[in-house]
Structure 1
Amino acid sequence: MPEDASDLARRLADRAEAVCRHYLTNGRREGRYWLVGDSQNTPGRSLYVRLHDGGANGGNAGKWTDAATGEHGDLLDLIAAARQLSTLRDTLDEARAFLSLPRLDPPQRQLPAPTGSPEAARRLFAMARPIAGTLAETYLRSRGLTGLRGHPALRFHPRCYFRGDEDDPRDRVRDAWPALIAAVTDLAGTQTGAHRTWLDPSGRDKAPVSTPRRAMGHLLGHGVRFGVAQDVMAAGEGIETMLSLRTVLPTLPMVAALSANHLAALLLPPTLRRLYLARDKDAAGHAAVDALVERGRSDGIETFVVDPRQGDFNDDLRADGPQALARRVQDQLAAADVVRFLEATRAG
């Protein structure tokens, strides 16, 4: 029983006789009970309502039983039957009226958010839960990424809606798949979008669909952020790329722009003095980094390009391990940032 209903039932029980006199006018009091024919106020003696608590074994005030039918309940049930009310809300409103309590306004129905809008992205992220112990954590671990349980930008949704297209065989498309959900935020930390990575139910890979990664909301200039950037920051395309760098640079603020085009358009903090750009080994990745290098340098920002050995830094992490990745990254950092951010140096 909802908390409000339980409270009203207790209030009614405190005034059990008054309730019976109001709703069961064809009954009468005999000792500790009110007797009437049934819950529809028929004259008789089959239904009895306890008017006072009877001690440890004597029953509670307001409880009633119809000996003829076996029906029983509390005074809220009795009011619903006597007034032939079909919903709990109507019953609660009737009880409040009897008790001279104000009637509660009905809850405002939340209107659907436009598909793909920032509001839809915020609602999706709010419905998801932290990744600890979920398939999202299993998936990230399979990519060599650990220690991410408490990160606020990452969540898990067990059944995230997926709309297939003509490239998805009908027997492979499901209405929903488990998904890793990442919040896309602006420079002020306001969520403007969300990124979904649909997962195979085993958690060992992405879902077997044509486009297992999709973003929604306002993305241009924004990204998935790991840490709050002030004077130094790293930026790149993919979430897994940046999380891989974060395994060896755990205190360096980073942002994943989610695509090459969005990386080229990334908005930079006004306090930024040094920028590291993780460059994927493809034409689009090179073009995006070149555009951001030019823009950063024109704004007086010292800019470094950091290259992986293979296609991206997650490929390096899985193939070579974190120690080899740390050595490769160390050679591409400013000397001050090696001491400040590199995990291997800090541990030593």
Structure 2
Amino acid sequence: MFNFKEREETHVSKEKKQIMTIEFLKTNNFILLEAISGSRSFGLATENSDTDIRGIYYLPKEDFFGLNYIPQISNETNDVTYYEIGRFVELLQKNNPNILEVLASPEDCILQKHPLMGLLRPEDFLSKLCKDTFAGYAVSQIKKAKGLNKKILNPVEKERKSILDFCYILQNDTSVPLKKWLSDNGKIQEKCGLVSIDHTKGMFTLFYDESGSSGYRGIIQNEEANQVSVSSIPKGEQSVAYLFCNLDAYSTYCKDYKEYWKWVSERNEDRYNVNQEHGQNYDSKNMMHTIRLLQSCEHIFKTNSLNIRVDNREELLDIKAGNWSYEAVMQKAEDLIKSIEHEYAASTLPDYPDVKKTEKILIEIRENLYV
């Protein structure tokens, strides 16, 4: 039975979750680090750039030891995000690029820093795992850019094709689109009957019933059909043609259609319009950050350190402005990937971060916080 005491405890729990906001953490001095991140920390900000904030906090003692552990708090737009110290260290151990970049924030971007945060150093976490997390993510973005390039260059008409558009009539030494053949011969698909031809794929014998009295099922039952229909043909009926249905091509088209219009419905229209204006057929802002990420990865393996403030601002902003061709950006990315492979092979970084060592640092921080 749900008694008053249970209702009271539930109310308290909900109330705690409601007050566990960034403002609550700031007001009660639970912030360990607060820094400006993103383009401003990279040195790539322009007059239109947003100001992203990342931070680290620790929970009130009763919440950390109780049942109200909250690993991350963000505002509604996610441009302000704070991580609980344990979650932050966990992501550092995984060499998460975004989290490592927060730890490596330039001094002029740090708004607040607790002395205990000095115990966490990027060099204690950097490892060869960065090849997967930095370069691996960048490669996924390159593939995404290639897919975007394909979508921009090959738009899919809104009016969806039917399987009839992938059917052809064999005629002499060539083939004729089914719709054209039907039109040229004054026939309609509803009066057609198909019989599959043994030991072939997508091949059918086509019969035609001018009177419509033989009960042929037509080539398709409706415009949404995913395959052609076959009919029961009376003995002695004379075929009029042979039909080939390219089901593989139709299946590929359906996949492309779905992906394209899903992309259209979800794309950022402002960014898309900017990309259309520069006419390079790729997401220039995304590719700027992809190149930056690859350069960061290259720097890690060259120097065993992470410096997120770029030294080629103009070049990167040139990419963002769409002044580089798609081919040039792809070549730049491929050259960086080759360099990363070379530097990775020669790197003296450990294969993985020292989990025991970094966990010990976390314990030391928490012991000082929860005295």
TM-score tier after normalising by the smaller chain length: under 0.3
Scaled by the length of structure 2, what TM-score is found? 0.21
Scaled by the length of structure 1, what TM-score is found? 0.22
Structure with higher strand content? 1
Structure with higher helix content? 2
